[in-house]
Amino acid sequence: MSHINPNFAKELERYGAKDFNLCFNCGNCTAICSLSTKDNSFPREMIRFSALGLEDDIKSSLKPWMCYYCGECSTDCPRQAHPGELMMSLRRWLTAKYDWTGLSGLLYKHLSAYIIGFLLVIVGLIVFAAKLDWNQEKIMHFGHLFEMFAIAGVFAIILLPNIFRMWLYTIVRPKVKATVKVYYKAFSELLVHMFTQKRFLECEKLQETQIKWFEHFILVIGYLSLLFTTVFLDWFGSENMFIIALGYVESAIIFVVTFLFILKRAKKTEALHKFSQPSDWFFVIWLFLMGITAFLVRLFIDIGILQNNFWLYLVHISVLVQWAIIIVPFGKWTHFLYRSFAMCFARILELNDMKK
Amino acid sequence: MSIDKTKYDALVVGGGIAGQEAALSLADMDYKVLLVEKDLSIGGKMIHLSKVFPTLDCAACITTPKMSETARHPNINLLLNTNILEIEKDNGIFSIALTIRPKYVKEDLCTGCQLCEWVCPVIVDDGFNNNMVGRKAISIAFNLANPKVAAIDMNHCIKCKKCEIACVPKAIDYSMQPQNISIETKTVIISTGFNLFKPENKPQYGYGKYPNVIDAMQMDRLIAPTRPYNSVVRPGDGKIPDKIAYVLCTGSRDTSIENAIGCSVDCANNPICSQICCMYSIKQAQLLMGALPLADITIYYMDIRAFGKGYEEFYQQAKGMGVSFIKGKIAKITQKDHNSGDLILRYEDVTTGTLKEAKHDLVVLSVGVLPNNEIAKVFTNQKLELDDQRFIKQVDELLSPSLTSIEGVFVAGTAAGPKDIPDSILSAGSAASEAASYINNI
C-alpha cells in the first residue's frame, strides 16, 4: 500500500529538484525522450511518483538511472517543469538512499558538510605529515600506499554494501526471482555500460550527442587508466619512459576534458547545465584539480624541482584524499557504479519478463 | 452621403466580426463611425471558416449579411487597405493619421465584373486559401469580399496593361499613390483580433518540412463551401486522406517555444489556453466524417475544454460519431518513409502511461491564438497598456470588460484575449454601448 507524502517535494528540492510540481501531465517529456521505451517509459512516471511522494516506488525503480540527461525533455517541456533536472535530483536522492552510512544525504543537503569534510582532510594531512617530520620520501611512500588502501577500503566498506542495498531495493524486495543464468547473462551488460556508456549514444541530436559521449568516454578511460598507472605502475616513482609518458597523456586528458565541463557548467547554455548543485561542481573541479596537480607533480619530478616545491605534492595529495574518501564514496562519482549496475539489473528484469 | 469625412463619433479599428458588430451597433444608434481595415475586404478571420461550432451553421452564410450591412450602412464609412499611423488624444478628441495604400483600381468605378482577372497573365499565391491555390495578380480579394473591388498586387504585376484595356469603366490606375489623411473622432474601439500561431515555430511538428502536416486554418479552407478543391486532399500528393490526426494545443499552453527557436516577440511562449482549438477541431472532425465517411479521425488532446453553451454536447456527439480522442501531447512528428508521405506521431497515452507511436497520412495542427497588438504602438501621447500575455489590457476585466488604459478607447473581441465568435460579438456589443455612453457624457 502506497502512502502519499506531499512533503516529499520539499525533500527533493534539497537534492536540486526545480518546479516539477508545475507538471500538468501531458506526457511530452516521455514521448520526446529517445531512451524512453514502451516497457520502460519515463520521466513523467517519475514526476508523478515524486509529486505524490511515493518513495517506495521511486526507491525500487531503476528508471532514474536509465536517463542520461540529454536535456530534451526539459527544453521541450510546455510547463518548464524541468523533468530532466527532476531525474537528476532523483539520482542524487537514490544515491543517498543506497548509502548505508547516510553521509551521502548529509553532503547533498548541506554544503557545509562538504566544506567541513574537506577541511578535516587537510588538517588530518598536516598532522600526519608533521608526525612524519615532513619527510618527503616517507610522505610520498604513504601517499602511494594510501591510494591502494583507499580504493580497497572504500570499495569494501562503502560501495559494495551500497550496491547490495540497491540490489535489495530493486530486485529482492519487488520479489524478482532470477536464475543464476539470468544474472550471468546480464553481467555482460554491466561491463559494457561501465566502460562504454553506449546507451548515451542513443540520445537524440546525433552529432552533439556523439561529441558529448566521446568527451565523457575518454574522461572515464583516462581516469581509470591513470588510476591504474599511478597505483600499480607507480607513475611518480617509475623511470620507464613509456609509463611516464602514459601518465602525462592520461592526466592531461582529465584536466582538459574536465576544464571543458567546468566551462559548460558555468555557461549554462544547455538544459543539463542550468542547475548545478555543489556536488556537481565538486565532482568536476576536484577531478580537474587531480588531473592538473598529478601532471605538475610528475613534471616537477622530471625537471628536478619537486624537492624545493614540495607544497605541490601536498596539494595533490590533499585533493586526492578528499576525492577518495568524500567524493568517491558519497558524491557524484558513484553514478559510475550505480548506472552500470542499473543497466545490469534492468537487463535481469527484462530477461525475466521475456521468460514469462 | 451626408458624412463629413474628417469628423466622426467613433473610429473602429479592424473589420472582423467584432469590429463589424461594434460599428453596426453604434451606427444604428445614429453615431457616425469610421471603420478602418488593413486588408482589402472586411470579414476578418470568420469569413475564412467553413462552419461554426456548435451549430454547424455555414460561417459565410451568417457573416456575409453582416458584412453587407456594415458596408452599406449610411452611418458607417469604410476605409480598406488602410493603416493607422498615429493616434493622439487632445482635450478628449482623438486625432488620427491614416494612410490608404493604393489598390491601383478606382473603388468608385470598379464594378467587380472580374474581366481584369480573366486577362491577367500573372498567377500569384492565393493568401485567402492559405496559398494552397493560385489567383491572378489583379483580383478581388476573395469571392465573398466586401466591397467587391479588384486590386493589383504590385509586387507581382508586370504592367502589361491587359487589365487596363479590358476594364470597361476604366477603373485601373497604375499611378495611384498612398494617400495620407487625418480625421478626428470622439472615441476609438480596438477590434484588431488575433494572430494564429505560426506552426513553423514548433519545429518538432515538422510544419513546412513535411507536406502532409497542415494547420487547422488550411483544413477549414479545404472543407469550406468556398473551398479551393472539390474534395479534401492532402498537399503532399493529392491523396484523399483516410487516417487524419489533430494535434491540439499547438502553440497554446506551451512555454517551450522560445527554447526551440530562440525568438522573442512574435512567436513568444504562450502559456494560456486559446479557448477555440478544441471546439474548432471537433467541428472539423465532424465535418470530415461527413466529407470522408471512410476516414479515421483521431484528436490528440491534453484536456478537452468544451465550456460554452452546447459545447459539451457537441463534443459527446463527435465521440458518438466515432472520432477517437486520445489524451497525450504529441511530442514530435516524423516522416520516416518519404514515398508514402505518412507521418509518425510520438506521444505518451497518459490514461495508461504507455509510450506510443501512431501513423497518420494527414496531420492537422490545431494552432492557438496569439495577440495582435501592433495598434498599441500608434498611440503617441497616451499608453495603451497590454496584459501579461500582451493582449490589450482590460483595466476592469470583470465589471467593465471593454475599458482600456486610455479613457475613450474601448476593446472588442479577441484583441483583449482568446474568444469564440459568440463571445466576440457579445464583447463588441459591450464596447459599443460603453462607447455610446462615453460620447454622450463628453
Listed by start position, the domains of chain B span 7-101+178-193+372-441, 115-166, 197-369
Q: Which one of B274, B348, B349, B357 makes the best mutation probe of the A interface by having the most chain A beta carbons within 10 Å?
A: B348
The answer to whether the CB atoms of A44 and B204 lie below 8 A apart is no
B348 bridge partner residues: B355
Touching check for A26 and chain B: CB below 8 Å? yes
Domain of residue A130 covers 110-355
- Of A37, A66, A98, the one marking the end of a domain is A98
> Is residue B438 scored above 60 in pLDDT?
yes
> Is residue B442 scored above 90 in pLDDT?
no
Low-confidence ranges of chain A (pLDDT < 50): none
Residue A96: CB atoms within 10 A of its CB come to 19
Touching check for A45 and chain B: CB below 8 Å? yes
| Residue A74 in domain | yes
**Residue B74, φ and ψ in degrees, nearest 5:** -65, -25
Q: Do A199 and A72 fall into the same domain? A: no
Q: Do A19 and A92 fall into the same domain? A: yes
Total tally of structural domains belonging to chain A: 2
The answer to whether the CB atoms of A44 and B347 lie below 8 A apart is no
| Residue A41 in domain | yes
Q: What is the pLDDT of residue A1?
A: 59
Instruction: Please state, for a pLDDT cut of 90, what percent of chain B lies above it.
Output: 92
> Is residue B3 scored above 80 in pLDDT?
no
The answer to whether the CB atoms of A32 and B346 lie below 8 A apart is yes
Residue B188 sits at the vertex; the CA angle it makes with B8 and B394, to the nearest 5 degrees, is 165
Q: What is the pLDDT of residue B1?
A: 43
The band of B265, judged by pLDDT with boundaries at 50, 70 and 90, is: low
Mean pLDDT in residue range B325-341: 93
The answer to whether the CB atoms of B256 and A37 lie below 8 A apart is no
The answer to whether the CB atoms of A78 and B253 lie below 8 A apart is yes
Q: Do A220 and A320 fall into the same domain? A: yes
The predicted model scores a pTM of 0.92
Q: Do A147 and A210 fall into the same domain? A: yes
Q: Do A127 and A266 fall into the same domain? A: yes
- Nearest-CA residue of chain B relative to A25? B350
A32 → closest Cβ in B249, B332, B354: B332
Mean pLDDT in residue range B393-400: 95
Distances, alpha carbon B68 to alpha carbons A314, B33, B72, B73, B162, in Å: 91, 16, 6, 8, 31
Mean pLDDT of chain A: 92
Q: Do A196 and A296 fall into the same domain? A: yes
| Residue A2 in domain | no
Cα separation, A300 vs A316, in Å, equals 12
Q: Do A83 and A156 fall into the same domain? A: no
Q: Do A122 and A74 fall into the same domain? A: no
| Residue A336 in domain | yes
Q: What is the pLDDT of residue B171?
A: 96
Q: What is the pLDDT of residue A80?
A: 93
The answer to whether the CB atoms of B302 and A76 lie below 8 A apart is no
Interface list for chain B against chain A, based on CB atoms closer than 8 Å: 204, 249, 253-256, 259-260, 302, 328-332, 346-350, 353-356
Cα separation, A156 vs A138, in Å, equals 26
> Is residue B423 scored above 90 in pLDDT?
yes
CATH says B197-369 is which class? Answer: alpha beta
- Nearest-CA residue of chain B relative to A79? B255
Residue A131: CB atoms within 10 A of its CB come to 10
Report which of B128, B47, B39 is spatially closest to residue B78, judged by C-alpha positions: B39
A31 → closest Cβ in B253, B254, B331: B331
| Residue A1 in domain | no
Instruction: Please state, for a pLDDT cut of 70, what percent of chain A lies above it.
Output: 99
Enter the CATH code of domain B7-101+178-193+372-441.
3.50.50.60
Q: Which one of A25, A28, A39 makes the best mutation probe of the B interface by having the most chain B beta carbons within 10 Å?
A: A28
Q: What is the pLDDT of residue B2?
A: 45
> Is residue B227 scored above 60 in pLDDT?
yes
Residues of B in contact with A31 (CB under 8 A): 328-332, 346-348, 355
| Residue A317 in domain | yes
Distance from CA of A268 to the nearest CA of B (A): 13
Q: Do A77 and A190 fall into the same domain? A: no
Residue B434 gets which letter from DSSP? H
Distance from CA of B363 to the nearest CA of A (A): 17
Mean pLDDT of chain B: 94
| Residue A274 in domain | yes
| Residue A130 in domain | yes
